[in-house]
Structure 1
Amino acid sequence: MLRTLFTSAIVLFATVSFAQIQTGKASFYADKFEGVMTASGEKYKRHKFTGAHKTLPFGTKVRVTNLANKKTVEVTINDRGPYVEGRIIDLSRAAAEELGYTNLGLADVSLEVIDPGDGKTSDPGRPIDQVSVDEKEFYEFGIARINHPKGYGVQVGTYQELVNLMRLADNLKNSYKKDVTVQVKVLNGVKYYGLILGQFSSREKAEQFREELRNKFPDVFIVEYNRL
């Protein structure tokens, strides 16, 4: 059963017009994410010049400048994030090394769109709406809206493209035999979908399940439904 939980959130930073320069903090991917699927359907590769942004379309090319040393790098957006206040982009290790801040962890950067792309990922010929799903695949969903959920769940990730969410939800439900709940978040007019597994009566049971998931999903975390 797929359940949807609708919430809204207020963005803590101003809307930015990308005809201008966006400034903020840049982080970079930990090595443990090597080979992990990104929101676009591509696998993260630390030697490629890629990045995660909250709203820019996949395939967008941006120039990132380290404001401390004026070094620049051009990367292609293929993932979503970072979801930390003040951070505007999460870069691959290769890109962070080019900017010279891997020893610091974070850098103050400016970000400028240099090519808006064509709605595709950086893998030529793979439109976003076809990533990861074959045209002959079909999914049947029993959807029930829940207004006041209780207990605890384990969140696997946050996604913007429903096509990726559908396949992952199906795989997780079959693998772990747990109900799947989707939390719909609206950030600055853009919808994001949090994928949550299970509805546990106690935090202890949720923690046990989180440990079971960590081998495949290192960043899973526990959510308390009535606090979402």
Structure 2
Amino acid sequence: MRLVLLFIFCLQSFLYAQEEHGKASFYADKFEGRSTASGEKYRHTKLTAAHRTLPFGTSVKVTNLDNNKSVTVRINDRGPFVKGRVIDLSKSAAQKLNFIRQGTADVKIEIVSVEDAKVENIEPDVVSLPENVKYYGLKMDTVERSGFGVQIGSYRDMENLMNTATNLKPAYAREVTIKQRMVDGAKIYSLIIGHFHKRDEAEAFKKKVQKRHPGSFIIDYSLF
């Protein structure tokens, strides 16, 4: 049997979805057509937002706590830099949350997907640090695997993989394995959940995760 997988994570330490609370604001009309920090042009009709630390491309669900209305937006800019505000929404997103008249709203932010996120080198400062920083314990060992697992996704950046891992549903409480391989001289990291002895067990688990991770598929550890 080959030694195939580099890391095994202690899953209990990071099976909690990231969540943030605070004030949301929205872009003024004067910003229409201006470049955002990601290089995209701001368009008020698109469901986008600015956040101080989340990677560009991250999708988040924003819920107005006053009326329970929700909208999913994609992070493509930095800000807001006003104390107490956690996200700056495009005007169309603010309209969906129905707080245009008020100007701001108390919201809850939940990460939906980080699969398309781009990681930047950001120098944090006291002003831009998130207000609900979380710390996670991590255990790594080289392991041998047999049987089957369900691959959730592959990533060029370990940061993107970790963002996905930290937002796995608690109901998925299984061993998490990271496979590292070289492709065209670059390291690729694959996130695999579960260690099943029978393929039908892996099939049943795949059906469970596919609603949230539609690209999931079964891998046979013995083939590596």
- Shorter-chain TM range is 0.3 to 0.5
Structure number with larger C-alpha Rg: 2
Question: When the two structures are superposed, what TM-score results if normalisation uses the length of structure 1?
Answer: 0.46
